Amino acid sequence: MKPTREELETAWDRRLQTDRRELSDYLASVDDRHHIDPRLVPPIVWGFTAWDYIDPAERDMIFAGMTRRMLQRAGQVMPVYQRSESFQAALHDGRAAINSMDDLVGFPMLVKDGEHGFRWRALEDPFILAPTDAESTSTTLTVYKSGGTGINEATEGKATPTFLSDRDMKMESQASMTRLLMPIGFYPGMRVMNVYSVEHKGGVMLNIAFHLLGVGLLHPRRQTEDLNVIVNDIERYGIDAIAVVPGTVQTAKTGQGPAKGGGITFQSIYGRDRALFGPKVHTAFITGYAISDDVVALAERLRERYDMRVSSGWGASEAHPGGVSPVFGSEERICKYNSQHLIQGPHHLGVVDISSGTPRPVRVGEEGLLLVTTFGRHDGTLFANYVIGDKVKLESLDCACGRTTPVVSNIRREDNERELIAGGCAYS
Ligand SMILES: [Zn+2]
């Protein structure tokens, strides 16, 4: 029997109660919760759903303590920062003055391209992005390349390496399992078709997260698989849920761009066999930038008609998970479809305005650059204020679903080199 929405909501509430206790026990077990060494945090701690619901001021202080340590370490062991005068200048005698995550704006932004960018240096010597003190050595770290999928001409052919250990992947997968997959209606025992490419880190990590959750998985044989085969397999294998890109994605340059990672999309599967959706496939995770209005309208129709659960998320090779639009909770909540809660910890996602030339955290209603800081990582690449190339609008700090994390909307790719430099992005 498939669980009902009410049963899943009850299971989620129970999970949250347990996780509140476990997080509270964990924080009571450390010497000083505002000075935790992030490398000593067990991966499972990042899977506690309670992180998304606790007092935001308290969460901010805990993460600021970890970020302080990470930045100090990064200044010593990450070649990209060791060689950066502006980064070293932001560290005062090797110490990072971070008492709140907002203080991160005092650190330089790590930009990819242009004169001040690190990517051309990383292409010459990728190991500038690998910490020299990693407990897993650089020979056992896995390199995941990003930015080469050709979503637009700005990223095509360039691949930013992210170094990750097995332990780092466990941490991200644990966080993704509980804080991304469970809130969007995935549950143990369901059968999932994962259409995301396992050639990309996001696809690999989703697989690990699905396995942690305990779902049965089916992949298309290849990304260019015939749509009829996909549709037949959904029927034949009794698939309950699909993880797939939407039909179209928004890009800054072209408005509507082609789907990321291949031709199989939510819309194309729906277009081939509408009868699959609702009674059979009742859960869909569709991500890959902003979901177009027509896909949102379709998702709403499916929800009204079949109580189908359609959600989105945000993530990147450099940091995962990043955002989620949960499907449970009151109708008043704003975190639906393109409005996503940022998932804070094991990475920090900041939204910063640089239009005045002095970076500052944005206020509700404003747009800004999404900055990634991977403060929780054990062995892999430490990104600090990394300009991943996405812009978002800060919608709310007070969502009716009870999460205390920011809700952002209109996530879209936008690398504008001139604007970045004018905004103070100097990295050499
Ligand atoms: Zn919410």
Report CA(301)–ligand 1 centroid distance (Å): 21
CA 122 to ligand 1 center in whole angstroms = 38
Query: What backbone phi and psi angles, to 5 degrees, belong to 160?
Result: -85, 125
Mean pLDDT of the chain: 87
Q: How far is the CA of 157 from the centre of ligand 1 (A)?
A: 36
Q: Within a 13 Å sphere around the CA of 26, how many CA atoms are in the beta-carbon half?
A: 20
Q: Name 82's Cβ contacts closer than 8 Å, sequence gap at least 6.
A: 75, 76, 88
- Give tens-digit pLDDT for 333-346: 999 998 999 999 99
* Distance in Å, CA 332 to ligand 1 centroid: 9
Query: Using an 8 Å Cβ cutoff, are 317 and 202 in contact?
Result: yes
Tens digit of each residue's pLDDT (9 = 90 or more) over 54-75: 999 999 999 999 999 999 999 9
The answer to which of 215-219, 381-385, 388-392 has the lowest mean pLDDT is 388-392
Which ranges of 153-306 would DSSP assign to H, the alpha helix?
166-176, 201-213, 227-236, 266-272, 293-306
Question: What contacts 48, CB < 8 A, 6 or more positions away?
Answer: 19, 22, 23, 26, 178
Distance 215 CA to ligand 1 centre (A): 25
Question: How confident is the model over 81-121, as pLDDT tens digits?
Answer: 999 999 999 999 899 999 999 999 999 999 888 777 888 88
For range 188-208, the mean pLDDT: 88
| Model pLDDT for residues 293-351, shown as the tens digit of each residue | 888 999 999 999 999 999 998 888 899 999 999 999 888 999 999 899 999 999 999 99
Query: How far does the centroid of ligand 1 lie from the alpha carbon of residue 400, in Å?
Result: 6
pLDDT over 90 (residue 251):
no
DSSP 394-428: EEES--TTS--SPEEEEEEE---HHHHHHTT----
pLDDT, average across residues 178-202: 91
pLDDT band at 285 (very low <50, low <70, confident <90, very high): very high
- Give the Cα-Cα-Cα angle 128, 323, 309 (nearest 5 degrees): 145
pTM score of the predicted model: 0.90
CA of 388 to the centre of ligand 1 (A): 24
Q: Compute the distance from residue 261 Cα to the ligand 1 centre, in Å.
A: 29
